Amino acid sequence: MSADDRAALGILLDLSQALLSAQVRSEVEAILTRQSVRLLGTRYALFLRYLPELDVLRVTAQAGQHADDLGRTLPRGQGASWRAALGPDPVLHLRREHLPPWAMRRAGVPPQHVLYAPLRSSSGRLLGVLTVGREDPPFLRRDEHLLATFANTGTVTLQRIHEAARAAATREGALLALGLALEARDYETQGHTGRTVALSERLGRALGLEEGEREHLRQGAYLHDIGKLSVPDGILLKPGPLTPDERALMQKHVLMGEALVRRIPGMPPEVLGVVRSHHERWDGAGYPDGRAGEAIPRLARLFSVVDVFDALTHVRPYRAPLSAPAALDLLRAEAGRQFDPEVVSAFVSLPLLGPGSRRV
């Protein structure tokens, strides 16, 4: 292996390593531009994302000495980036001494040698264009090959992220359907699943949960009451107080729910913890295990506050709803008894939803 080959391999390994941690499209685009400047020694690098709904290319990431292109939009057919996107070649190479008239130039920027590498999925779908430029030295065939490989590596990463997002959306839709299956039995609780999922996401952000933790919390919110599918209508919809035997049967819904959710392939233990433990109490007087304080899974402690607030502020067969301020007062009163005080403090401090003084 020649020295040039070893250098090229090192460059590609550096790029691949940087892309391994990327979780969203914007991270991939930023890494591609940043690493292109660093590894290819270019003056600048731009990523133009294709927006199919508008049929335009838009600069969504940049690195190097071009600091004023972010957000710039090119309609179909305008400029060299579109020429590369619509052309058959893996890289379009424009030399500064022979720039064609359709190559757009920015005022005050010296002529550049420029490379354009389109990113296309395996099905031929345009994802964007990676472009780099410099005044000197001219780009060599090796630079073209490297940029083409950069684009291919970026494409693979973007496809991975796209497929993961699509799988997550499909999974989330399936979880929502399970939650709605319970609501279909009881008109009084319709909307509870969607509201608790949305509130859980807001509370998770307020408490600084990472995206993975927030996803587990959302999944737990979708599934928290799925065990009530096993509770007879006569108990679930009873308008008056439950007898001790009925209450004991109702409380078993968390164990039944955990058993059902455990059968979903790949369900994380954090989600099982929400389903099983969201009726535990900070003071240890909850069910099914009588856990107290921080022995209760953290996500279950978070969801408990969300679940109770939504239940208090909406109609139930056995009582009328409370106003939001009255429900918040109740949560404050139960901080340190039923609820984790830190969670209550974060929940009652959530930003306003709309006009008026009502929080959360």
Query: Which tens digit of pLDDT belongs to each residue from 235-283?
Result: 877 878 889 999 999 999 999 989 988 888 778 999 999 999 999 999 9
User: Same structural domain for residues 134 and 266?
Assistant: no
List the catalytic residue out of 228, 276, 279, 291. 228
Please report whether residue 182 resides in a domain: no
User: Same structural domain for residues 306 and 341?
Assistant: yes
Report yes or no: 178 and 222 within 8 Å, Cβ to Cβ: yes
C-alpha 358: how far from chain center: 28
Assign residue 313 the CATH number of its domain: 1.10.3210.10
Q: Which of 335, 337, 310 is nearest to 324 (CA)?
A: 310
Q: Rounded CA gap, 312 and 320, in Å?
A: 8
Q: Tell me, what's the pLDDT at 359? A: 47
Task: Indicate if the pLDDT at residue 357 is higher than 60.
Answer: no
Q: 339: which DSSP letter?
A: B
**Where is average pLDDT lowest: 25-34, 73-82, 91-100, 174-183?**
174-183
CA distances from 41 to 127, 144, 279 (A): 24, 13, 58
Q: Tell me, what's the pLDDT at 298? A: 97
Q: Tell me, what's the pLDDT at 281? A: 98
Phi, psi of 330 (to 5 degrees): -65, -40
Q: Residue 55 — pLDDT band, cuts 50, 70, 90?
A: very high
User: Same structural domain for residues 219 and 272?
Assistant: yes
Q: Residue 234 — pLDDT band, cuts 50, 70, 90?
A: confident
Q: Tell me, what's the pLDDT at 177? A: 67
Whole-structure pTM value: 0.55
Average pLDDT over residues 174-190: 61
User: Same structural domain for residues 120 and 236?
Assistant: no
Q: Rounded CA gap, 187 and 220, in Å?
A: 22
Q: Which structure tokens are listed for 357?
A: 């003084």
Task: Indicate if the pLDDT at residue 353 is higher than 50.
Answer: no
Report yes or no: 145 and 159 within 8 Å, Cβ to Cβ: no
Q: Tell me, what's the pLDDT at 180? A: 64
Q: 352 vs 106, which has greater pLDDT? A: 106
User: Same structural domain for residues 133 and 219?
Assistant: no
User: Same structural domain for residues 128 and 195?
Assistant: no
Domain that holds residue 282: 188-348
The total domain count for the chain is 2
User: Same structural domain for residues 67 and 195?
Assistant: no
C-alpha 80: how far from chain center: 33
**Where is average pLDDT lowest: 207-211, 277-281, 299-303?**
207-211
Strand partners, 352: 359
Q: Residue 89 — pLDDT band, cuts 50, 70, 90?
A: very high
Angle between helices 3-20 and 25-40 (to 10 degrees): 160
31-49 confidence digits (pLDDT tens): 999 888 988 889 999 999 9
228 a catalytic residue: yes
E-strand stretches of the chain: 44-51, 56-64, 73-75, 92-94, 113-120, 126-134
